[in-house]
Amino acid sequence: MSASAAEPVDSLRRRSRNGNHTNGVAVEDHRVGDTDTPMEITAKNNGYANGVGGGGWRSKASFMTWTTRDVVYVARHHWIPCMFAAGLLFFMGVEYTLQMIPARSEPFDLGFVATRSLNRVLASSPDLNTVLAALNTVFVLMQTTYIVWTWLVEGRARATIAALFMFTCRGILGYSTQLPLPQDFLGSGVDFPVGNVSFFLFFSGHVAGSMIASLDMKRMQRFKLAMVFDILNVLQSIRLLGTRGHYTIDLAVGVGAGILFDSLAGKYEELSRRHHLGEKTPPRNWL
């Protein structure tokens, strides 16, 4: 090795011994990377990087290395999980002190309490209830039309697959645990399902279908149309609570179900593409 080639190497070694690497990251304060948090740095130094415990049982437990700086960092940059942690502690107290509803009593629903006045208005005005029910049915048809349109016309099957997953799961869950209709339920012959027939309460297909359509619109950057659907979904939820057509939990799970099954449909499409990559015959564009 020539003297000119050895000189940069010796220089790098000297800088490494002095505590500075060539990438400008100091060893003294253990900054492993620009985006590492204090706890992540501790995990890497203890040999737990990438989920591998380098030191096994001999390595120091992570919590034993936490400092005040770590706590402040988490509180500042991860305040949302901190709020959920506080919620966990709060509802643990509620769960152990809350009196259960007697078996022969009506279920308690906070949404029903909030919409008590709306329920009285709709009960005293059947014509208004019918108009709102008809508008709700129109909104359901709008959801259905958009979801089917994305597949048949635009050649994108994700929203349709998500809806198929969602309604099948809803049918299984709705049949498995059949909740009683509230005593002050206000039905209508023009409401969906049309004809005032029986339906599964858990979970809300109205809300989940609207979420699936809205998520697809946002994915396609149709933000104004998505905002319209989100607003109509909120109004739809208020009406469903007011008519006692759904419990609050049905609506909340409906939101989560729309997000979940949209994600599962995306994963299904990705797996389908990977499968077809190994075939000689290319797949059709609709899937």
Tell me which residues are annotated as active site: 206, 246, 250
C-alpha–C-alpha distance, residues 146 and 213, integer Å: 7
Tokens read off for 221: 């950057």
Q: Is 52 helix (H, G, I), strand (E, B) or coil?
A: coil
Tokens read off for 222: 């149709």
Tokens read off for 277: 């990559």
C-alpha–C-alpha distance, residues 238 and 118, integer Å: 9
Q: What letter would DSSP give residue 184?
A: T
C-alpha–C-alpha distance, residues 123 and 18, integer Å: 81
C-alpha–C-alpha distance, residues 39 and 161, integer Å: 40
